[in-house]
Structure 1
Amino acid sequence: MAAKQHVVVVGSGIIGASIAWHLTRSGAAVTMVAEDIGGIATPKSFAWINASWGNPEFYFHFRRRAMAEWKRLARDLLGLPLSWCGGICWDLPADQLEAFAVEHSSWGYGIERLDGAAIAAREPYLTQVPDLALSVAEEGAVEPVAAARLLIADAEARGARFVSAAVDGFVRSGERIAGVVSSAGMIDADHVVLAAGAGSVPLAASVGVTLPLEAPPGLIVHSRPFETRLNGLVMAPDLHMRQTADGRIIAGSDFGGTDPGTDQHATAAVLFARLKERLKGSERLSMEFFTVGYRPTPKDGFPIIGDCGQDGLYLAVMHSGVTLAPLVGLLASDEILTGDIEPSLGPFRLKRFG
């Protein structure tokens, strides 16, 4: 019997956790290496699962496919903290909102136009209700750190290993990447997956790979747990908000968060005051904390997935990691273990940058 392929996954956010879980389910021996479960960007994500936002058609369909994979993942992993709560949005000028609705409807997105009365019925605690908004019932949200922890725990139950350590570089065997150098020592591998978000940039650079990645900051406020004030995702022009499974209301000026400015605490206070103004019966609502996340965003906005010109090293770096995680985990694990090329990942290779 052939020995299991050993894969080291660097990173434990939602992308790394999904890849590790899918690899384990496919029979690989997996070692995850990260300083803490949950990663850096994942805990600071708005965690909206969607196929919205001005995507070209090929990327829309890829994201829509990823939404379906969340449903498959929920069937395979009981207890996944996932809610198909739907979303309403009116955060574009009227002409752009209509153009978005027409385009995405023609692609099969389930967009419904709501008037003010329907919006108020859907979200009765809103203090400001527009005359028109778009609703997409199939959108949802996940509690991303809890999901990553669940994926990793299930992978460990199936034999995977989690090593709490910082990764400092890679092990070479001839021209091949054959493991990682970590604060816990060297770990040999048949394949290494680099899924460390913005932290992937210096690690890739250490073996001569340039990742054209930006990491813009985004501030999101988190309330203390509170009575239900939001039934779904709400995307208003200057405030995106949702209520989590444990009752916290989280918000940013958009789903990526607010520019934290020079005084993060002052920015958070202003943002939270705006949140309270937008919700009826929120006098007792109080902020528990805020986060500033650095979203790993390739310069053209699309994921970087796959071969990087270094044999043995596989990349998985992207914004929209929450939406894409189950599909990327499925496709990446198959490519890694079989060596077969997945055509739908073609647009996301590093080589597109030249």
Structure 2
Amino acid sequence: MGSKHVIVIGSGILGASTAWHLVQAGARVTILEAAEPGGMATRDSWAWLNASWGNPEPYFRLRIRSMQEWKRLQQQVAQLQVQWSGGLLWDLPPDALEAYAGEHSAWGYGIERVDAARALQIEPAILQPPEQALYVAQEGSVDPLAAAMALLAGAQDGGAQLLAHTPATGLRMEQHRVIGVDTPQGLLEADEVVLAAGIGSAALLNDLGLHYRIDAPPGLLVHSKPTIPLLRTLLMTPDLHVRQTTQGRLVAGTDYAGDIAGADPRELARQLHGKVQAMVRGAEQLEMDFYTLGRRPTPGDGFPMVGRPSGLAGLYLVLSHSGITLAPALGLFAAAELLQGVRDPLLIPYQPDRLLQNNG
């Protein structure tokens, strides 16, 4: 019997990581991408690698593991660059900041409590240093699109076929098993199909009679023109998150609590860039280059959906918010489960059935 043929639908960071790990494990892989390689949500991510506040311990453990797997991928994937610059955070009220520090320190996260003087030692470019902040040296970031493209290139080097501008129009079923993917060019058959298409996954599942809630909160990213090195670390402030890329751009992000239809995104981008200029020493005259307004696929309870829906063979889901942080671990674990039947214990809370509803 030859190696399994696996179709991966979606070439964002989760699909790219899954494809790369499948190839490394010996599978024949075809990657389908409806648009340009690299996906949609991936390129609009701020791409902070972290296991930060607001999550229960099992999810913290998964994120920590995946941060470790990023270091493995650095050694194994050509052209993959990770900036382990550390993260300086003060975007919580003082009591919440201290609660986070106490909880995550007990879990083993390398948190340092800092005052204004220490914050300036860590990041001299802060014009108004916080009186109280937390620093985690092990946090980092990637260029999200470049990381996805490096993984896709590595998968192709190992024999994977990447079909760009080839949307999956449906999943073909026979006797409760997915046997392939319908495309405008016809049916592509496979032993396994991995659904890693973010928001686009919902329509494909709905055609099978499966429904789940997926949210897509908007996120604005503003990119400055390239400049000299200004920032040493990632900054998470009450108003914005900002980091500097390897190309020298300052990338600032912020969240919106609701739909921002009707707002002028360019004006919002100008305001956000103005906050960067007011916060970062040396950026006072730095010009904005461009902005993006993206949507971040988030399963209904906020946590990943990774695994096989029960009663449906041949299909495996890899859907998650925090896709950048989680991509190495989820790709590794998905490949092991698909090819060896071994499910990593860290995935136990994230079985898709908890959120899937049968429309039939």
Q: Give the TM bin, normalised by the shorter chain.
A: over 0.9
Task: Give the equivalent residue in structure 2 for 1:4.
Answer: 3
How many Å separate the matches in 1 of 2:140 and 2:173? 42
Matches within 5 A, 1:48-63: 48-63=48-63
Matched, 1:149 2:136: no
Quote the sequence identity (%). 48
Cα distance, 1:270 vs. partner? 1.1
Where 1:108 maps in the other structure, the secondary structure is coil
Q: Is residue 5–residue 190 contact of structure 1 (8 Å, CA) maintained in 2?
A: yes
Quick one: which of 322, 326, 329 aligns to 1:327? Answer: 329
Q: Is residue 297–residue 319 contact of structure 1 (8 Å, CA) maintained in 2?
A: yes
Task: Give the equivalent residue in structure 1 for 2:179.
Answer: 178
Matched, 1:352 2:344: no
How many Å separate the matches in 2 of 1:71 and 1:246? 21
Q: Is residue 219–residue 254 contact of structure 2 (8 Å, CA) maintained in 1?
A: no
Task: Give the equivalent residue in structure 2 for 1:188.
Answer: 189
Matches within 5 A, 1:254-269: 260-261=260-261, 262-269=263-270
Matched, 1:25 2:60: no
Cα distance, 1:174 vs. partner? 3.0
Cα distance, 1:259 vs. partner? 6.6
Q: Is residue 7–residue 29 contact of structure 2 (8 Å, CA) maintained in 1?
A: yes
Query: Bigger CA drift: 271-280 or 334-343?
Result: 334-343
How many Å separate the matches in 1 of 2:13 and 2:210? 23
Task: Give the equivalent residue in structure 2 for 1:251.
Answer: 252
Q: Is residue 218–residue 257 contact of structure 1 (8 Å, CA) maintained in 2?
A: no
Q: How many residues align?
A: 352
Task: Give the equivalent residue in structure 2 for 1:294.
Answer: 295
Cα distance, 1:280 vs. partner? 2.0
Matches within 5 A, 1:300-315: 300-309=301-310, 310-315=312-317
Cα distance, 1:258 vs. partner? 9.7
Where 2:180 maps in the other structure, the secondary structure is strand
How many Å separate the matches in 2 of 1:221 and 1:317? 26
How many Å separate the matches in 2 of 1:238 and 1:257? 13
Q: Is residue 304–residue 319 contact of structure 2 (8 Å, CA) maintained in 1?
A: yes
Cα distance, 1:224 vs. partner? 1.1
- Specify every segment of 5 or more residues in structure 1 that has no aligned partner in the other structure, as ranges: none
Q: Is residue 6–residue 28 contact of structure 1 (8 Å, CA) maintained in 2?
A: yes
Listed one character per residue, the Cα deviations across residues 115-151 of structure 1 (whole Å, up to 9, x for unaligned) are: 1111112222211111121000000001111111111
Aligned partner letter, 2:350:
F
Are the structure 2 counterparts of residues 157 and 78 from structure 1 closer, same or farther at C-alpha, using a change threshold of 3 Å? closer
Task: Give the equivalent residue in structure 2 for 1:45.
Answer: 45
Task: Give the equivalent residue in structure 2 for 1:223.
Answer: 224
How many Å separate the matches in 2 of 1:226 and 1:43? 21
How many Å separate the matches in 2 of 1:3 and 1:112? 52
Cα distance, 1:277 vs. partner? 1.2
Listed one character per residue, the Cα deviations across residues 131-189 of structure 1 (whole Å, up to 9, x for unaligned) are: 12100000000111111111111111111100111111112233211111113332110
How many Å separate the matches in 1 of 2:203 and 2:313? 18
Where 1:70 maps in the other structure, the secondary structure is helix
Q: Is residue 252–residue 258 contact of structure 1 (8 Å, CA) maintained in 2?
A: no
How many Å separate the matches in 1 of 2:252 and 2:284? 17
Query: Bigger CA drift: 8-17 or 295-304?
Result: 295-304
How many Å separate the matches in 2 of 1:147 and 1:259? 29
How many Å separate the matches in 1 of 2:335 and 2:326? 14
TM (norm. structure 2) is 0.94
Aligned partner letter, 2:49:
I
CA RMSD, 1 decimal: 1.6
How many Å separate the matches in 1 of 2:199 and 2:6? 21
Task: Give the equivalent residue in structure 1 for 2:243.
Answer: 242
Aligned partner letter, 2:348:
G
Aligned partner letter, 1:286:
E
How many Å separate the matches in 2 of 1:72 and 1:258? 37
Task: Give the equivalent residue in structure 1 for 2:120.
Answer: 120
Q: Is residue 218–residue 258 contact of structure 1 (8 Å, CA) maintained in 2?
A: no
Where 2:105 maps in the other structure, the secondary structure is helix
Task: Give the equivalent residue in structure 1 for 2:12.
Answer: 13
Where 2:69 maps in the other structure, the secondary structure is helix
